[in-house]
Amino acid sequence: VDPDYLGKMVPHSTPPQLPSLVGVAVSTSDLDQARQALQAGQIDFIDRGERLVVAPAQACGSAVLFEPEETVV
């Protein structure tokens, strides 16, 4: 993805250089359960409604996006 699109998908994220692995999408059958697991683990994330985003700084340098099974990019 280009840097502008990356900013829309993963707010406040700047890749070290392009190309690079900037994130992975994880398909989940229960987004609420994923949300609860992140909260229980005290993992900071951005809740974008149909997507939960764990910032690269919280996930070893690559963003982790949790999305419902039917919407994974």
Q: What is the pLDDT of residue 71?
A: 64
**pLDDT < 70 regions, the chain:** 1-3, 12-16, 18, 71-73
Q: What is the pLDDT of residue 58?
A: 87
Q: What is the pLDDT of residue 45?
A: 95
- Work out the number of other CB atoms within 10 angstroms of the CB of residue 25: 15
Q: What is the pLDDT of residue 20?
A: 72
Q: What is the pLDDT of residue 26?
A: 92
Q: What is the pLDDT of residue 8?
A: 75
CB 50 within 8 A of CB 67: yes
